[in-house]
Amino acid sequence: MELPFAESYKIKMVETIRRSTRQEREKWLKEAYYNLFNLRSEYVYIDLLTDSGTGAMSDKQWAEMMIGDESYAGASSYLKMKAVIKELFGFNDFLPTHQGRAAENVLFSLLVKAGDIIPGNSHFDTTKGHIEFRHAHAVDCTIDEAFHPTLYHPFKGNLDLNKLEEVLKSNPIEKIPFIVVTLTCNTSGGQPVSMENLKAVYEMAKKYGTLVIFDSARFAENAYFIKTREPGYGDKTIKEIVKEMYTYADVMTMSSKKDAIVNMGGFIGFGDRKMYEEASVYNIMFEGFVTYGGMSGRDMNALTQGLLESTEFDYLQTRIKQVEYLGEKLKQYGVPLLEPIGGHAVFLDAKSFLPAIPKEQYIAQTLAVEIYLEGGVRAVEIGTLLADRDPDTRENRYPAMELVRLAIPRRVYTNSHMDYIAATVANVFERRNQITKGLKILREAPIMRHFTVELDRV
């Protein structure tokens, strides 16, 4: 018989998690104002809020923690990280930051001015936040296929080159400091960008005279999809693919809480020495000196080891196959979801799941609340709450898709947990016709409201 697929690691340390009763969860939800960010983690049985900073480090990463160099300047940990960034991405210079949004803050302080226009593929929420905070505008140029939940396209994160060229042509180029390409594209469902598209975007940027930034949180998962889906890449290693991807970027921002498999950390990688020097000023102001910038030596060591591990094919295959396992199980139960299944998460199509809820009542958040109530599984809304209000009109922005993201932490849960999650969602699906009322906002913040919003049932 053919041997089945199995994980490429075994477990060395465990953490206890506790199941709760429906009655308890009903009470906790009320106390949390129906915002799952307000729940204590001990009230959650399986936590799929995010794959950010929630991964399990390897024995080798923990070993690296012990030999971190905590020198203020010129630490070996910094030099080790510098060498691996050069090896993987080809960038000579980098600045460490405490997480991804800090990398954005430092880099955008240098590059973004009021009135600027920044095209990209469904900008990540903190990226968009840092653009709009500076009174600049993010323009979404993702391909239309990305907004059809069940349409198959191998690279739904791709930028539409016509849309992009239209933006580049119809605005003065000084107003477009860069194009941002998000790998993989979280906002459109953890969908990858093809090598062909990366190359075309870079060539177009150079034709018009602007820069390309890769928002790189899940660059390794993106490389896995290039290897397994794009003709001509099947025989290349992940590290070879990553190296080629980054020949089409001028600079990168990284949230190391994703594909560097650490709990905290980030960095900016630079191809241009002058830009590195100019950005260093902001790094020193906001983060720390250029050789640690918001991270301790031990954390830089673990991060560096994490980058090497996340660019191993066996690790990526284990990871992405687990996400796929959950998605396939949900499909068997008839649950509507985004296809193809993303790299780090399964995205439920909340509009099809709960057709009776009007969009003004936060469809995806309603579904996330019901899933928690059913089985203590915490997911996250990627819908109207996240889309926030238009900065000019202050009206709600209603996105094309209302999604609930089940983000799978790296190397944390087993496939039995995946079975439990699938059954939880299937039970909500079974009683979907009884869910006819959504939620209303009691209080919200002026920007990135989804983190702190307070809601009540309609």
Ligand X SMILES: *Cc1c(COP(=O)(O)O)cnc(C)c1O
Binding residues for ligand X, per CB under 6 A?
52, 99-101, 124, 126-127, 182, 186, 215, 217, 255, 257-258, 266
- Do you know the residue count of the chain? 458
Nearer of residues 104 and 370 to ligand X, judged by Cβ: 104
Q: How many angstroms separate the CA atoms of 409 and 319, rounded?
A: 9
Residues facing 301 on adjacent strands: none
Nearer of residues 126 and 304 to ligand X, judged by Cβ: 126
Report the nearest approach of ligand X to the CB of residue 258 (Å): 6
Nearer of residues 69 and 104 to ligand X, judged by Cβ: 104
Report the nearest approach of ligand X to the CB of residue 182 (Å): 5
Report the nearest approach of ligand X to the CB of residue 52 (Å): 5
The residue with its CB nearest to ligand X is 100
Token match 């944390």: residue?
A: 412
Report the nearest approach of ligand X to the CB of residue 101 (Å): 3
Nearer of residues 141 and 439 to ligand X, judged by Cβ: 141
Nearer of residues 29 and 107 to ligand X, judged by Cβ: 107
Residues facing 267 on adjacent strands: 96, 254
Report the nearest approach of ligand X to the CB of residue 401 (Å): 17
Report the nearest approach of ligand X to the CB of residue 7 (Å): 24
Q: Could you count the other beta carbons within 10 Å of the beta carbon of residue 393?
A: 8
Largest CA distance in the chain: 63
**What is the SS3 assignment for the chain?**
CCCCCCCCCCCCCCCCCCCCCHHHHHHHHHHCCCCHHHCCHHHCCEECCCCCCCCCCCHHHHHHHHCCCCCCCCCHHHHHHHHHHHHHHCCCEEEEECCHHHHHHHHHHHHCCCCCEEEECCCCHHHHHHHHHCCCEEEECECHHHHCCCCCCCCCCCECHHHHHHHHHHCCHHHCCEEEEECCECCCCCECCCHHHHHHHHHHHHHHCCEEEEECCCHHHHHHHHHHHCCCCCCCCHHHHHHHHHHHCCEEEEECCCCCCCCCCEEEEECCHHHHHHHHHHHHHHCCCCCCCCCCHHHHHHHHHHHHHHCCHHHHHHHHHHHHHHHHHHHHCCCCECCCCCCCEEEEEHHHHCCCCCHHHCHHHHHHHHHHHHHCEECEEECHHHHCECCCCCCECCCCCCEEEEECCCCCCCHHHHHHHHHHHHHHHHCHHHCCCCEEEEECCCCCHHHCCEEEEC
Report the nearest approach of ligand X to the CB of residue 215 (Å): 5
Q: Are 223 and 310 in contact (CB under 8 A)?
A: no
Residues classed as catalytic: 72, 124-125, 215, 217, 258, 450
Report the nearest approach of ligand X to the CB of residue 209 (Å): 25
Nearer of residues 255 and 366 to ligand X, judged by Cβ: 255
Q: What are the tokens at 245?
A: 């991807």
Nearer of residues 97 and 384 to ligand X, judged by Cβ: 97
